[in-house]
Every structure is written in C-alpha cells, then in structure tokens.
Amino acid sequence: MRNKFADAIYEIGKQDPRICALVADISPAGSMVKFREEFPERFINCGVAEQSMIGIAAGLALKGMRPFCYTIATFSLYRPFEMVRDDLAYQNLPVTVIGMGAGVIYSTLGGTHHTMEDIAVASAIPNMTVLAPCDPEEMRLATTWCATESKGPVYMRLGKAGEPDLTSSVVDPFEVGKIRYLRRGDGDLCILSYGITMKMAFDVADRIQEQTGRAPSVVSVHTIKPLDTAGILSALSSHDRVVVMEEHVPHGGLSSRVKEVAWDNRVRADLSCFTLKDEFIHYYGDHAGLLDAHGLSAERVIRALV
Amino acid sequence: MRNDFDITASRQRCMGYRRRILEISQQVQALHAAGAFSCLEMVDVIYNGLMRGPGSGNSPDTFVMSKGHGCMAQYVILEELGVLERRDLDLYCKPEGRLGCHPDYGVPGIEASTGSLGHGMGLAIGMAYAERFVHKNDGGVFTVLSDGELQEGSTWECMMMAANLGVDNLVALLDHNGMQSFGNTAETHPKFYPIREKLEAFNWETAEVNGHDADAVYNAVVSRKGGKPFMLIGNTVKGRGVSYMEHGAIWHYRSPNPEEYKQALAELVEICS
C-alpha cells in the first residue's frame, strides 16, 4: 500500500501544484523519491519531529496548499495529537494525515509501534474525516479524493505492504461517505470491515460459503467518519446476521459506531463484533499470531458463526 | 520594508490601545491585559511599521499571534485599522460577539487560530515556506511568541526546521517578560537562560532590545542581515503601563475592578522606552 500511495501522490502532484508531501524521516520508497526529485520545493522531510510536520503542514494549508503528512500511524496521530486537533481540525484545513502500518501490523516492534485506538482517537475530533481503504486501488481512490475534494482534515489509516487486490473487479463504486459492497450475498450474513482487516473478512466469507453454501455480503466501510448511517441501517435490516471485524480496540471504532446506529434507530439485529482486545499484549511473532492472541482470526470468527 | 516608522505616532497609538483594552476590561472579568501590555509595542511595530498594507485585505505579509492570550493587543490594532468593528470589541467574550480570549481563524484579520502555546512557530514556518519557496513571492511572516512558549518542545522542533528550510522571510518577536504563573522564570527555571545563545546555536539570527522601545524594535528588525530566520528578543514588563499590574502574576488574567480601572487610566502615560 505504501508504494502505491507514493505512486498516487506522484501522479496527483504532477497535475496539481498545491499537493505537497511532508514526512517525518519515514518515507515510502519508490515514487516518493521521484516526487522529491521532481518537486523538491513541495517535499519536506521534517526529521524525527512530528509536531513540526503537522504544524508546518497547517501553515502551508493556510497559504493554499493541500499537504499530505506521512509517517507510521502512532507517530502521525498520537505524537502530534494536539497539532492535529488544533492546527488542522480546529481550523478545518485540507491536510491529510497518513497513518501507515496501523493496527498491530508491526507485530514484533511492541506496543509503542501499535495503533490500536487510532480510529477512536481521530473520529472523536470535530471536522475530521476518517478513511481506511482496504486495498491499493481503494487507497488510490481515497488519496485522490483527499487531494482534490476534501474540504477539511483527513486521517487515513493504511497498511504496510503486500495487501492483495480486493476491489478491482467490484461493481460498487468507491464513494467517500458511502459503504461499499465488495460482494453482495444472499441476505444471511453481512461482514462489515475496513482497511487491513478486509483480507481476513474475505477469507471468512469464502470459508463460510464453502461450509454452508450461503453467500455472505462483504462490505468495505472505508469511511468510518462520517459514517454512512443509512447504508449501515440498510445492511443491518437486509441481513439476518451482521458481523463487524476490525483491527482496533473494542471501543470507539466501527463496532461501537454500528452498535450506536442500531440503538439510535431501534433496530433489532443479530450483531457480533470481532476486534482487538482492550489490552497491550506483549507477543513477539508474526502479525497473524498477534491478531490471534487478541482473539481476531478467521477461524475464531467462523467458529462463532457456523 | 517601510522606512517611515514614526515613533511619536507609535507611542500615541500604544497609549490609546492600552486605554481601549482597559475600557474593555470593564465589560468582562478576565482578558489577559497584562500579557497584551507586554507585547503591545512589538505588535504595533509589526502592523504599523513592518507589514505592507495591513488591514487592506491583500497585504503580502502575514501576522500570527503565537501567544494567543495576547490577542487583545491584536484586536485593538485591527479595530484601529478598520478590519474589526468597534462593535466586535464591545462584544468581546459575549454570546452575541465573535471575539474570544484567543484568536480564531476566520475572524477578519486573524490568520491562524492560536491559544495553546507552542503552535504558532510551526504555523508561521509553514506559511513562510509556502510564500518563499512554493509561491515564490516576497511575503513576510511575522509572529509574536511568549517566552513561556520557548519551554514547549514543539517550538524548538520547529525552530530547528526553520533554519533547515531557510525561511529568511520569517521574523519572530519574543515577548520576554520573564514571568510565568509560578513566578519569575529566572527563579523557577534558571536554565531557561541564556536564550540568545540557544537561538543562535539553532542557526537563527537574533537581536535583543527593550521590547517597549518601538523604535529599537523596528530598527532591529529592518536592519537584520537576513539569510536566516530572525528572532528579536524583546525584553518587556508584563502589565507595562499600569503600575500595579507590572510584575504582578494575578494580572495575567484578571480584569481590574472599577477603582483599579480609574487608577489605571489616571496613571497611563506614553511609554517612551
């Protein structure tokens, strides 16, 4: 995803002189080098100084630019949180904060490098849009929207590398603020997910279909804020069962939001949520192993559903 | 840069600004008068000496009040320039008004929202960089910081970056009144000093003057060598102009009562240095 992000920024930056990239000593390789070489005045490496990255981006936006700030998610959102809130959101500036390698994707790096509550934190800020595209193509479309159409700040949660293509043959268009059916099932089960967890959602859907013959719907909730309330309500009412899968703590993410929507609209639904635990887990193995330690795996979801 | 700065007119303006701030203080319980009084001459120099066409709506130059709590100094000047209306200041901190204790982006004449310390430097650097290297024009960016803001790590992060980026169109004026809520900075945080050497180690050009001497402030800025970001250390007195406010921590926030107000008006004099 990070390479495709760099490609996207480079392509958009060629067309639009307002696009600039700020990084904090972490750079997606490949095309970001091309961006830096071709548009050196629009590329700033702030060093290991994330507060300055966000503050300077805000100053650039106040002078008409549309900056992207890029580093690992913990450092792009948590470290400079007050700059994100005051400089970007309070002034409602069109700056996109990229949180790369979110969730517990850096499984061996420990809790300092895990972003388990970013959706809750970013969603709590007024004016903030929160996006989590599920594959490189959805990320490209989301990045294009941030560069050309966003009216205020965006926090965009990305994975790292190697995410498979999940959407290139999907009929539903990508539209910020609308949920997107990647598969339309037979009305039994609907899986709501986003971002890096979507591959696991597909795995669950495939295996449930194999085992039961029922075809689950799979939905990319790539825009967590503003949430497509009507779309969520429709998914809740048009399926017998709904599952939320997310690589995020149980509180303040998509699970909480879907429950809110159901409660606020007095919808009776069979809703199950699979998330990270509300815990720092000291596990040093691969990503799947750490997710499993949190209770998030395709097997566990399938076991609960079949 | 303009070179027609009239010090006599500046002194008269600042006298009027202090009077107006005291007048507004009688409508509210608190307004950070002392912090406004300490930076008043410097803000006056920026608007009435350094910026080109301030208040015209199309000045090439920008001002960011990094010490947002000093914004009364900015409001009264914007009022005089006709950017804000008298009614705006009369409705300061009132439900029907649009001016609060900290400046809000979107209010006429306010180029950035501040209030939390340690934000203005980053904003000003981003603006200066955009003018200098992206839009490639000669727009200058002026900012006034409190000395307390130099205790924020974010300010130093950004100052290091300013020198790296070569934003020589950035002029920061430090309102060094040496006073914080817990007392004199020299006593509470002695290693805060020296300031100037630290700034120069970060590759900023610096100068140090009496921050209430508008002539000295103006001349220090216009005679800078350039090629680097510039910071003027303006040595000031918190509450300058009203004897009982000077050096009194309580006046960081509180408004004078009617008796104190009368006394303040009676003793206001033009500050010559």
Residue B131 has pLDDT above 70, yes or no: yes
**Residues near B150 by Cβ (< 8 Å), separated by ≥ 6?**
B156, B174, B192, B195
How close does chain A come to B162, measured CA to CA in Å?
Answer: 10
Q: In this complex, do A59 and B119 lie within 8 Å of one another by their Cβ atoms?
A: no
Size of interface A-B (CB pairs under 8 A): 101
Residue listed under structure tokens 């760099």? A6
What mean pLDDT do residues A96-123 have? Answer: 97
* pLDDT given at position A29: 63
For chain A, list residues whose CB is within 8 angstroms of any CB belonging to chain B.
Answer: 17, 20, 41-42, 44, 46-47, 49, 51-52, 54-65, 80, 82-83, 86-87, 90-91
Q: Say if residue A294's pLDDT is above 90.
A: yes
Mean pLDDT of B2-7: 76
Residue A26 has pLDDT above 90, yes or no: no
Section A43-67 average pLDDT:
97
pLDDT of residue B79: 98
Q: Mean pLDDT, to the nearest integer, of B35-55?
A: 96
Percent of chain B with pLDDT over 70: 98
Angle at which helices B120-129 and A50-62 cross, to 10°: 50
Residue B250: pLDDT band (50, 70, 90) is confident
- Which one of B157, B159, B164, B165 would you mutate to disrupt binding with A, by most A Cβ within 10 Å of its Cβ? B157
Confidence of residue A22 (pLDDT cuts 50, 70, 90): very high
The Cα of B272 is separated from the nearest Cα of chain A by a number of Å equal to: 35
Calculate mean pLDDT across residues A127-138: 97
Other Cβ atoms less than 10 A from the Cβ of B258: the count is: 8
Contacts of B115 in chain A (CB under 8 A): 86
Quote the mean pLDDT of chain A: 96
- Condensed to tens digits (0 to 9), the pLDDT of residues B193-242 reads 999 999 999 999 999 999 999 999 999 999 999 999 999 999 999 999 99
Torsion of CA B152, B219, B228, B104, to 10 degrees: 40
Question: Which value does ipTM take for this structure?
Answer: 0.95
Tell me whether residues B158 and A56 touch, CB distance under 8 A.
yes
* Contact between A236 and A271 (Cβ < 8 Å): yes
Whether residues B126 and A56 touch (CB distance < 8 A) is answered with yes
Q: What is the DSSP letter of B227?
A: S
Q: How confident is the model at residue B72 (pLDDT cuts 50, 70, 90)?
A: very high
Of B116, B158, B165, the CB nearest to A86: B116
| Mean pLDDT score, A254-268 | 96
Quote the pLDDT of residue B104.
97
pLDDT of res. B248: 80
pLDDT at residue B57 in the model? 83
pLDDT at A175: 98
* Interface with A, mutate which of B161, B169, B170, B202 (most A CBs under 10 A): B161
Note the pLDDT of residue B182: 84
Residue B58 sits at the chain A interface (C-beta within 8 Å): no
Tell me the shortest Cα–Cα distance from A94 to chain B, in angstroms: 14
List, for residues B104-115, the tens digit of each pLDDT value: 999 999 999 999
Interface touch B126/A57, C-beta < 8 Å:
yes
Does the pLDDT value for residue A253 go beyond 50?
yes
Taking an 8 Å cut-off on Cβ atoms, the answer to whether B130 and A46 are in contact is: no
Average pLDDT over residues A69-76: 96
CATH number of A180-305: 3.40.50.920
> CB distance A65–B134 less than 8 Å?
yes
pLDDT in the model for residue A161? 85
In chain A, what residues touch B111 (CB-CB under 8 Å)? 62
CA nearest neighbour of B204 among B178, B186, B224, B219:
B224
pLDDT for the residue A150: 98
Task: Report pLDDT for A33.
Answer: 87
Q: How confident is the model at residue B2 (pLDDT cuts 50, 70, 90)?
A: very low
**B56: pLDDT strictly greater than 90:** no
Q: Say if the Cβ atoms of B158 and A51 lie within 8 Å.
A: yes
The whole-angstrom distance between A54's CA and the closest CA on chain B is 8
Q: First and final CA of chain B: distance in angstroms?
A: 23
Residue B91 reports pLDDT greater than 90:
yes
**What is the reported pLDDT for B200?**
98
- The Cα A285–Cα A289 span in angstroms is 6
The better pLDDT of the pair A62, B180 is held by A62
Q: Where are the domains of chain B?
A: 8-267
Quick one: average pLDDT of B182-186? 89
Q: How far apart are CA B110 and CA A259, in angstroms?
A: 41
Q: For B1-119, where are the alpha helices, taking DSSP H only?
A: 7-25, 33-45, 71-80, 86-90
pLDDT over threshold 80, residue B136: yes
Reply yes or no on whether the pLDDT at A180 is more than 80: yes
pLDDT reported for residue B1: 45
User: Is residue A28 predicted with pLDDT exceeding 70?
Assistant: no
> Per-residue pLDDT for B273 more than 60?
no
Q: Which residue intervals of chain A are DSSP H helices?
A: 2-15, 31-38, 50-62, 73, 81-82, 118-123, 136-148, 198-212, 229-238, 254-264, 287-293, 298-305
Alpha carbon distance B72, B93 (integer Å): 11
Fold classified for B8-267 = Rossmann fold (3.40.50)
- B225 token code pair: 């060598």
State the pLDDT at residue B272.
Answer: 60
B-chain residues near A64 (CB < 8 A): 130, 135
Residues B122, A62: C-beta atoms closer than 8 Å:
no
Residues B19-30, mean pLDDT to the nearest whole number: 93
- Give me the residue spans of the domains in chain A: 2-157, 180-305
Closest CA to A129 of A98, A83, A164, A174: A98
Q: Using the beta-carbon criterion (under 8 Å), do B122 and A60 form an inter-chain contact?
A: no
Nearest CB partner across the interface for B161, out of A20, A52, A91: A52
CATH architecture assigned to A2-157: 3-Layer(aba) Sandwich (3.40)
Q: What are phi and psi of A56, to 5 degrees?
A: -65, -40
In this predicted structure, what is the pLDDT of residue A32? 85
Does position A1 have pLDDT exceeding 90, yes or no? no
